[in-house]
Amino acid sequence: MKRISEAEMGGKQAETSNPRDWGSSIWCLLVLVIGALVVTAAALTILKYLHFSKNNEAHPINKKYADALELALQFFDVQKSGKLVDNRIPWRGDSGLQDGSEENLDLSKGMYDAGDAIKFGFPMAFTATVLSWSILEYGDQMNAVKQLGYAYNSLRWITDYLINSHPSENVLYFQVGDPGLDHKCWERPETMTERRPVTQVNTSFPGTEVAAETAAALASASLVFKENDPDYSSSLLTHARQLFTFADTYRASYSISIPQVQGFYNSTGYGDELLWAASWLYHATRDDSYLRYVTELNGQRFANMEITTWFSWDDKLAGTQVLLSRIIFFGAKDMPTVENLDLQMYRKTAELVMCGLLPDSPTATSRRTDGGLIWITEWNPLQHAVASAFLAVLYSDYMLTSQTETLYCSGNSYKPDDLRNFAISQADYVLGENAMKMSYLVGYGSRYPLYVHHRGSSIPVNADTSCQDGFKWLYSDDPNPNIAVGALVGGPSLNDSYSDTRDNVKQSEPSTYNSALLVGLLSGLISTSSVVKSYT
């Protein structure tokens, strides 16, 4: 707006010397201004309404995925340990209330990883990281179908536990329970009586991957709670920083330091967890030292540029590549050249991953069933399919939000919708569009697994069993008396078949990390809206 000088004002006053005329002019001017404001406000309201209506028409809620999401989130309640609050699962009760007491710690919360009653910190932390990522990207869509609160509560149930498991800077308790003792029993968590020892990593027995993954979980969760609970967010971030320093300073695989873990969640290396954790700490802090860590300092050593891998609880490289591509998509303008080039390499590898997933790409992986499901291993095969689909829908939305129109795969061009369609194909397979004509998400559809390998689900609530005599329920011919709502079982064989038997552990055991990946995938498919550009 142009300012009127004192000289100009004097001239105008001289021209309108009659006070009554001057007042009339002001009144007329006010009327005109008010009228203009009213018209503008009305126009903006109409435009806003039209924009909202258009978005609703363009991005309707997909009820199939919304219903599946509601179920998938309930599995976290099935897996909770501790004093249950607002319990949604009628056959679950309090358990593990004394966990950690032998070390004067409260490790009663957290979640059992699968069908047994052990708390394995490595996959539990990964579950929290993926759940945080899902909320950060798709929280609005979760909220639209009234599921965001449940996602928050499940995440916090884990992060409360992770905070308590880190009593000092260089000590992290990563396991509650003895797998050898636990697997000799078949009993409900509510009635278990065997000793539950706790296991830690420290400076004498380091565990880089489990400490780094826990750092990633707490750093990503600090972003989730930053607005609603800043004090809690700050505490999470403090623990994340300390754990990352511990992980990086005392580099050693926990599988080597503590060999007894090799039979359950054996790690194949810790470089990916260090990059993954540093990437999340950069997003949580915007501290350039974490960005330098993943680029010029350690990118060449740990990133395996141009070598594609499969995203899982053990291998975070593909997830790291997609997460760091986010920076290139949305905010690399003022970045130093060296770091920018290294991030471009991460994005290039992420694109190779995406090209491998697209079924008609020249570089498409052949590791699929005839039904089109990504299939990598006979143990828990759905993990890799759902993880791949989750990364694909994320990358699709990064392209869409940044107005990146094309992905090139060996000369062929693809659109964001092509990645999204791949993700849909995997989700639909899980939900029943497969050779077995059954849903692998327990509780979804008219046909789903009835003999889930899960202690609490398989034993009646009123059964009076001890450690050994509970095995009759493992081998019972009757379906599970308690429905493990939202459980995503291991999944089908390479020939698309599935044997619904309780002792078929490879196929019928569910896990929390499978569920976290499925929650992210379904949340991304609820509607076709784009992701937020910045977490901070």
**How confident is the model over 356-401, as pLDDT tens digits?**
999 999 999 999 999 999 999 999 999 999 999 999 999 999 999 9
What pLDDT does 534 receive?
A: 84
Query: 259 in a domain, yes or no?
Result: yes
Q: Position of tokens 């258009």?
A: 54
Query: 11 in a domain, yes or no?
Result: no
Query: 93 in a domain, yes or no?
Result: yes
What pLDDT does 53 receive?
A: 29
Query: 39 in a domain, yes or no?
Result: no
Query: 469 in a domain, yes or no?
Result: yes
Residue 44 CA from chain centroid, whole number: 37
Residue range 66-71: mean pLDDT, rounded: 98
What pLDDT does 321 receive?
A: 97
Query: 43 in a domain, yes or no?
Result: no
What pLDDT does 21 receive?
A: 40
Query: ∠ at Cα 69 (63, 75), nearest 5°?
Result: 150
Over residues 218-250, the pLDDT tens digits come to: 999 999 999 999 999 999 999 999 999 999 999
In the predicted structure, residue 173 carries a pLDDT above the cut 50: yes
Within 10 Å of residue 535's Cβ, how many Cβ atoms?
Answer: 19
Confidence band for 3, pLDDT divided at 50, 70 and 90: very low
Domain, as residue range, for 277: 64-525
Confidence band for 532, pLDDT divided at 50, 70 and 90: confident
What pLDDT does 340 receive?
A: 84
Residue range 504-517: mean pLDDT, rounded: 98
In the predicted structure, residue 94 carries a pLDDT above the cut 80: yes
Residue range 337-345: mean pLDDT, rounded: 86
Question: Which run of H or E residues covers position 23?
Answer: helix 19-58
Confidence band for 332, pLDDT divided at 50, 70 and 90: low
What pLDDT does 243 receive?
A: 98
Over residues 137-168, the pLDDT tens digits come to: 999 999 999 999 999 999 999 999 999 999 99
Query: 2 in a domain, yes or no?
Result: no
Provide long-range contacts, Cβ within 8 A and 24+ apart, for 318-321.
Answer: 318/350, 318/353, 318/387, 318/391, 319/276, 319/387, 319/391, 320/272, 320/275, 320/276, 320/279, 320/294, 320/346, 321/346, 321/347, 321/349, 321/350, 321/353
User: What mean pLDDT, rounded, does the chain reach?
Assistant: 89
The residue annotated as part of the active site, out of 166, 239, 453, 454, is 453
Query: 417 in a domain, yes or no?
Result: yes
Over residues 452-500, the pLDDT tens digits come to: 999 999 999 999 888 989 999 999 999 999 999 999 999 999 999 999 9
Instruction: Please report, for the domain that includes residue 404, its CATH number.
Output: 1.50.10.10
- Write the single-letter amino acid at 300: Q
**Residue 384 designated active-site:** no
What pLDDT does 333 receive?
A: 62
The domain tally of the chain equals 1
Over residues 302-318, the pLDDT tens digits come to: 998 888 999 999 999 99
